[in-house]
């Protein structure tokens, strides 16, 4: 079993860097604070005897050799960058539980067959630079290094210059690093485990995501003198699409998700019938085929609505992330670990994107979820208890040992 | 008949002050440009032999004596302040057609029984200082002079200091000025006259207006990991209210109006289920009783929806303007004038608020509408033709002559 107190202490120590008054953490990717966080985690890895490899996008791998070092390593990790008003656990828990696994192997002088590694990926959050999951995306060849390098923050600074500035533009080519299997422990970021009073979520897949912008164009007119029948009210038509987004997701239970999170009304004046409305749509589902069905249902609805109302309705795909079903062996390894350790557990899906999505395209991948209070994340009040954190790390330990071989 | 060319020329000359590149006019109330506009109109009034009275809120009355000056004057006018991207006609047409009526009386040496006056009211538009229809509101005793004086613009300047600065804080107590009858000629600001190809609208009433803010509070949550059934989506619930606003207005045809013009979603992020939404509601109808019915229907719906969804829904009244039915004699004077002059005409209501609303509480009041292109106003492309403008001023002339007596 891992040392729960040591793991908790490391989580609290790392959260000091960028600590916020409300108990959260603000450590945006590639800032001075991120550098301090990276330096601290690397110093812990070195103290645990690990060798360090940094690639050109700043992903950091730390290695504990096995008996047979020609085998690809069993890797665990996540990210240490946070949201602007982030918490102590999102990402950090996955990285530090991997460190705790290695410390536990050292404490017990356990030799593994394959080497064991911990990793933290650059810019998972995407708060400062888009796209999200940047380090793992470049590593998996989803987008080129040059595209990631050219991404700018609101001040116009690029990823490349910030990586160089903080000294984390490494030498290794991203993706050239072998991975035997990848495990990521993470807080659930949702309400299910807590609601069901379950300790461990055996993650089956990450939902596929499709993001759109929808723009409805009608005709601006004065709210007083324009009779109802002579209006081309862009908001009124938009509300019908917004409701259909929810209806489509409800019709695709239990894994369908539909969200309109962002709305912009023009000219946004109390006594003007809106001339145009732009809003976001977020569709998620268990398989790419299921997301395609939601997409098709939405497009059919919109086409009909445009015909019926005469308004122009534009639907633009902003980005998409394929569904990532996890590897049967990794899922089984997580499930068996939870069973052996006597933790209550259930199958669950990840509604949120994670670095594990891209890793699953390269290697057998699995994820371990622990509950978080009220399902809240991306918030300074994000919280999991010491017991929950320790349980997740114990499952990670056992799953990795099974994969690496002892 | 009035001199159409002279009226058109005056409209174009006044629109030079604050002219915008796209052919509109930006002459916000109590600015240097407003002072220039006021000075110009007063110089024209003085050239026409009128005496000038300015009251403490900056309303300007200009008087042509009658045979019997103990009779209260027949007054016509409107406002000369504009929206930031306003046009040449809104307000200005009412003021300058009143001037043209007086010029025509002079040209033809017509003596009236009662005195005849033109007026322009301070800050009808409300773009720089709220509330709208400020000068006529203070004049009618709807709100105290002190409240109007204390209103501030976005830079913190008050109405009082700006009135003093431009030299238009007069001596007369607002409301102490007698009014025998009031006429206001105005562009329709809506599509009906143009749609029906009618020259003159005989305005029956100004619709009553009720403005609300509605605030729906749910629970912010991550769009991915939160199952549909576990959400408290403030936007989803808001869209049902937004649709009900329209449904209530449609059920109250032909004069019911319902508009949601302004929406603010929190936190307004693509992958966050909205935690709260604030939006405006604008209800209008022919009578106060009809507006009350809309209000009651909305409140019933909201109460039921709050019960059904468990979300908190707050409805705050922001302001209201009572319905203003016009005086039978004034309506008849306008109708007869149109008939005598051979103009096509129809009964119409004003969906937009005007200074005539407050005047109707003090004296017999009527309004004359002329068509405007595509029903567009509050826009630099606002347009009525020289023929339409002349027709409106001719009707004003005849209606005023009938009221003043010759
Ligand atoms: N883990 C996480 O919050 N990812 C952000 C992308 C998303 O799933 O919306
Ligand atoms: N005439 C006019 O546009 N008034 C503004 C107030 C309103 O009716 O919405």
**Chain centroid to CA A298: how far?**
25
A296 Cβ partners below 8 Å, 6+ apart? none
Q: Kindly state the average pLDDT of the residues A180-191.
A: 98
Burial class (CB in 10 A: 0-12, 13-18, 19+), B213: middle
Please choose, from the candidates B213, B217, B283, B277, the residue with its C-alpha nearest in 3D space to the C-alpha of residue B247.
B283
Which residue, among A222, A287, A279, has the nearest Cα to A246 in the 3D structure? A279
pLDDT at A251: 98
Output the residue whose Cα is nearest ligand 2's atom 5: B353
Coil, strand, or helix at residue B80? Answer: coil
Cα-only R_g, chain B = 23
Q: Does any ligand 2 atom lie closer than 6 A to the CB of residue A224?
A: yes
The arithmetic mean of pLDDT across residues A275-299, rounded, is 98
Mean pLDDT over A45-74 rounds to 98
Phi-psi region of A23 (alpha: psi -120 to 50; beta: other; left: phi over 0): left
How high is the pLDDT of residue B372? 97
B window 225-254, beta carbon within 8 A of A: 225-230, 233, 235-236, 239-240, 242-243, 246, 249-250, 253-254
Residue linked to tokens 């729906």: B216
Condensed to tens digits (0 to 9), the pLDDT of residues B282-293 reads: 999 999 999 999
- Which pLDDT value is given to residue A6? 98
Contact B350, B402 (CB under 8 A): no
User: By C-alpha distance, which of B379, B383, B384 is closest to B84?
Assistant: B379
DSSP designation for B177: S
Helix (H) or strand (E) holding A201: strand A200-206
Q: Would you call B254 and A227 a contact, using CB atoms and an 8 Å cutoff?
A: yes
CA dihedral over B239, B245, B248, B251, signed as positive or negative = negative
Residue A224's closest chain B neighbor by CA? Answer: B351
Q: Which residues have C-beta within 8 Å of that of residue B213, sequence separation ≥ 6?
A: B278, B279, B280, B281, B315, B316, B318
Residues of chain B with pLDDT under 70: none
Tokens of B235: 């936007």
Residue B98 has what pLDDT?
Answer: 98
| Contact call for B207 and A224, based on CB within 8 A | yes
User: For A112-160, how does the pLDDT look when each residue is reduced to its tens digit (9 = 90+)?
Assistant: 999 999 999 999 999 899 999 999 999 999 999 999 999 999 899 999 9
CA dist B23 and A143 (Å) reads 49
In terms of phi and psi (left: phi > 0; alpha: psi -120 to 50; beta: otherwise), the region of B183 is beta
* Gap between the Cα atoms of A194 and A384, Å rounded: 10
H helices, E strands: number in chain A: 12, 16
Pairs of CB atoms within 8 A across A/B: 199
User: Is the pTM value of this prediction over 0.85?
Assistant: yes
Nearest residue on chain B to A227, judged by CA atoms? B257
The pLDDT-based confidence of A85 (bands split at 50, 70, 90) is confident
- Of A95, A381, A354, nearest to A207 (Cα)? A354
Annotated binding site: which residue ranges of B?
A: 79, 90, 125, 186, 378
Atom of ligand 1 lying closest to residue A284 CA: 8
- B291 CB contacts (<8 Å, ≥6 apart)? B208, B209, B210, B283, B284, B285, B320, B323
Interface of B with A in 262-281 (CB under 8 A): 262-263, 265, 268-274, 280
Q: Which atom of ligand 1 is nearest to the CA of A209?
A: 8
From the list B207, B196, B190, the residue with the least C-alpha distance to B369 is: B190
Decide: A351 and A332 in contact? Cβ < 8 Å: no
């Amino acid at each position: 079993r891992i040392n729960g107190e040591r793991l908790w202490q490391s989580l609290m120590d790392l959260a000091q860097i960028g600590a916020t008054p409300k108990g959260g953490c603000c450590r945006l990717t590639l800032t001075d604070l991120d550098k301090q966080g990276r330096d601290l985690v690397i110093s812990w890895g070195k103290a645990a005897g690990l060798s360090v490899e940094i690639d050109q996008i700043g992903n950091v791998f730390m290695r504990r050799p096995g008996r047979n070092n020609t085998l690809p390593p069993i890797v665990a990790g996540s990210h240490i960058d946070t949201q602007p008003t982030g918490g102590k656990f999102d990402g950090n828990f996955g990285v530090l539980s991997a460190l705790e696994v290695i410390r536990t192997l050292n404490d017990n002088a356990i030799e593994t067959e394959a080497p064991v590694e911990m990793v933290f990926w650059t810019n998972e959050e995407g708060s400062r630079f888009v796209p999200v999951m940047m380090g793992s995306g470049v590593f998996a060849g989803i987008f080129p290094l040059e595209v990631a390098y050219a991404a700018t923050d609101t001040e116009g600074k690029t990823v490349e210059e910030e990586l160089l500035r903080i000294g984390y533009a490494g030498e290794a080519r991203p993706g050239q690093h072998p991975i035997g299997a990848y495990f990521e422990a993470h807080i659930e970021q949702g309400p299910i485990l807590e609601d069901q009073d379950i300790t461990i979520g055996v993650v089956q897949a990450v939902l596929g995501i499709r993001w759109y912008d929808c723009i409805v164009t009608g005709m601006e007119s004065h709210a007083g003198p324009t009779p109802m029948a002579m209006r081309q009210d862009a908001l009124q038509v938009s509300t019908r699409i917004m409701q259909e987004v929810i209806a489509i997701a409800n019709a695709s239970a239990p894994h369908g998700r539909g969200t309109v999170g962002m709305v912009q009304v023009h000219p946004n004046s109390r006594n003007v019938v809106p001339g145009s409305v732009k809003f976001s749509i977020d569709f998620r589902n268990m398989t790419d085929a299921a997301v395609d069905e939601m997409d098709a249902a939405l497009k059919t609805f919109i086409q009909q609505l445009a015909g019926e109302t005469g308004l122009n309705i534009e639907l633009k795909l902003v980005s998409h992330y394929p569904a990532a079903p996890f590897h049967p062996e990794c899922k089984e390894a997580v499930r068996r670990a939870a069973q052996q350790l006597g933790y209550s557990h259930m199958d669950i899906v990840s509604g949120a994107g994670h670095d594990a999505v891209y890793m699953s395209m390269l290697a057998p991948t699995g994820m371990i979820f622990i509950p978080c209070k009220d399902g809240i994340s991306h918030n300074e009040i994000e919280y999991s208890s010491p017991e929950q954190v320790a349980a997740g790390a114990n499952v990670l330990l056992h799953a990795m040992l099974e994969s690496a071989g002892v």
